[in-house]
Structure 1
Amino acid sequence: MINHKKFDREILKQIKTLYVYDNWHAPIALLMDYALIIFAIVLAEYSYWFLPLTLLIIGSRQRALATILHEASHSALTRNKKFGKIIGTYFSGYLIFQSWDSYTQSHVKNHHPKIGTDLDPDYDYYKSSGVFHTHSKKEFFCKFFFAPILCLKLFSNIKYLVINRLMSNANKKELLKILFVHLVFFILGTKLVGYKFYFLYWLLPYLTVFQMITWFIELAEHYPMIAYTKSNIEISRNRFSHCVEHFFTGMHGENYHLIHHLFPAIPFWNLKKAHFILMQDDEYRSINAQFGGIFISNNKNPSMWQQLLRKEYV
């Protein structure tokens, strides 16, 4: 049973002012993601020497599309909820093989209210990966740092996504919609770039960089505290990343994951404001004083992986 942090009434009053939605932040964020994807493709078309950078950018923006779906599933993406669902499905989630019904079941109905229990699919995935087993530092880094970078965890990552984010609750009609979106995407991309578009510039980064970035982001969200904490203010972390790391992992306020679990309906463009409001709380401020980035911090705190590196056994 997770205890819920009780904030001062004045802080909650200030937080309440952030529950303001509109219909323009989300389309602009989505267009910026698309623009970066197009820019990355242009780079690689100019010279294949840029292909590694292209794959990194596209894979990270595919993760950004997952964040758009995530916000829509919490009804926090737009003022018009039907508009938000359209953006979160046809223009983002469907493009990365994630269905609306499966995602909302897995994330909104299971992960959030059942976090840290056997009914939480994210926690179950952590456990099945072996990350909570006792390892020497060398073993831990080989399995959970180098293996994801080398795409050796691809099968388990894809299995999790297919089961929890695509098939678990999707119906035939929605699966046909996803197929239709990819068919249109394939035809459009082929006309503009050629047949290589879908395979080189979409499937390849999805099967490599997107999976890698997703693993490191989602591990940083709750590891290791999800296994032992009894309070919702300690069950996740905010990330304060170096600007380069933030570009690839902090899209659309995703770095403020602790705030998201405390107040999941705050729109992503107000999460930073929420952080400064919550810093008035002594406990929140004390907890955040320990946080850095995933790999490289933008403050004096060691990153999550630097902290793990200092341990003899993990």
Structure 2
Amino acid sequence: MAADFAWMRRAAYSEAMPAAPRIAAASLFSPEDWAPFQQRSAWIGPLLVLHCWAAIVAAVVVGVVWPWLIPLSIMIIGTRQLGLAILMHEAAHGGLSPNPRLNDFLGHWLCAVPVGASLRAYRPYHLSHHKYAQQPEDPDLPLSTPFPVTRASLRRKLVRDLTGQTFFKQRVLFALKAFRDARDEDLAEGAVVTGKSVAPFLLVNAGLLAVCIVAGAWWAWLVLWLLPMATWFPMVTRLRNIAEHACVEGSSHDAFRAARTTRANWLARALIAPYWVNFHAEHHLFMHVPCWRLPDLHYALHARPEGARMEVADGYAQVLKRATSRA
């Protein structure tokens, strides 16, 4: 790893031995085999940010020109809003650019702020999640401990997402300090990444609204930006959270089972899991590997005997079946 990001390692591991189990790359890979996974790129991260925004703009244009395709545009835009959050996550690990200032600028202003997040608030929170993954100190534990649930319970959660109730709790109640229950799975992650960036969020969204007004489609901001953020984005975020950690046996004591990887076809990548977020087991094993190298890391790990211990689901339907196994 570049020396510029050594401070992030210190921030994650300086206080004590991490509570979550760890595995050293040297125990699995030779220096030559591991070297490609340590390399940072000066251009891939910025291109991913550009790709995300290009997909959003294209989906907005499609919805404006062909209004009957607005439902599809909402799904695509909501998933790319999740994509912005995922690229913010990448920036939290220093993966968008080997230049720390550029990494943080891209991660905060072009990824986090437009969806109501704060890279500065998210980074220490998320590194704490890695340090204590699936331990009592893990701040994301409320996202996985309720599962498995009944199908009716999951339906209620998804209805809350798709009707804007989760959005209201995360973006309004938390911002007004009216909700303080840290055990609520709707707020465990959402609150910390959405409640501390209100002014920049409003400023950037005012700019997006102004662009829509100048383009002669003021309603596009409401229907093709805010509506996806209030509906599809919370829903796919929940599905991602369930898939990553829920119902993984041995996750608290086996580094290879700290998280789940979910196989995703092109449709799942377009509507649920952008930017390789589905390779979460690999990410928890080696959190500084850039997201675009996670597929190669997946195959490299499964070429070794230890890879058989990792939790891999064949798709999101299989994950949800397991997550709703409670009678």
Same fold per superposition (TM over 0.5): yes
Change (3 A) 1:294 1:150: farther
Gapped regions of structure 2 (runs ≥ 5): 1-18, 175-186
- Label 1:166 to 1:102 Cα distance change in 2 as closer, same or farther (>3 A): farther
- Show CA shifts across 1:118-143 (max 9, x none): 4322113444xxx24x75x4434434
The aligned residue for residue 225 of structure 2 is 202
Q: RMSD of the alignment, in Å?
A: 2.6
Aligned to 1:5: 23
Partner of 2:319: 304
1:1-314 aligned at under 5 Å gives the runs 1-5=19-23, 9=27, 11=29, 13=31, 14-108=33-127, 110-127=128-145, 131-132=146-147, 135=149, 137-144=150-157, 148-149=161-162, 153-156=166-169, 158=171, 159=174, 160=187, 163-167=191-195, 170=196, 175-225=198-248, 229-288=252-311, 290-295=312-317, 303-308=318-323, 311=325, 313=326
Q: Which residue of 2 aligns with 1:298?
A: none
TM-superposed CA distance for 1:56, in Å, is 0.3
Distance 1:67 1:254 in 2: 7
- The offset of 1:229, in angstroms, is 3.2
Aligned residues of 1:11 and 1:277 also touching (Cα < 8 A): no
Unmatched runs of 5 consecutive residues or more in structure 1: 296-302
- What letter matches 2:60 in structure 1? I
Q: Give me the whole-angstrom Cα distance separating, in 1, the residues matched to 2:323 and 2:244.
A: 15
SS in 1 for 2:89: helix
Query: Which residue number corresponds to residue 299 of structure 1?
Result: none
Give TM-score scaled by structure 2 length.
Answer: 0.80
- 268-277 or 53-62: bigger deviation: 268-277
Cα displacement string for residues 128-169 of structure 1 (whole angstroms, at most 9, x for unaligned residues)? xxx24x75x4434434455545555444555525631134xx
Q: Distance in 1 between matches of 2:35 and 2:139?
A: 30
Q: 3-state SS of the aligned residue for 2:105?
A: helix
On the 8 A contact 2:144/2:245 being kept in 1, the answer is no
Give the secondary structure class of the aligned counterpart of 2:42: coil
Runs of at least 4 residues of structure 1 off by over 6 A? none
Q: Helix, strand or coil: the match of 2:37? A: coil
Shift of 1:200: 1.4
- Which amino acid is the alignment partner of residue 104 of structure 1? R
Q: Is the partner of 1:225 in helix, strand or coil?
A: coil
Identity over aligned pairs, percent = 21
> 1:4 corresponds to which letter in structure 2?
R
Are the counterparts in 1 of residues 264 and 315 from structure 2 also a CA contact under 8 Å?
Answer: yes
Deviation at 1:16, TM superposition (A): 3.4
Does structure 2 conserve the Cα–Cα contact (< 8 Å) formed by 1:2 and 1:230? yes
Kept in 2: contact 1:249–1:255 (CA 8 A): no
Count of aligned residue pairs for this structure pair: 293
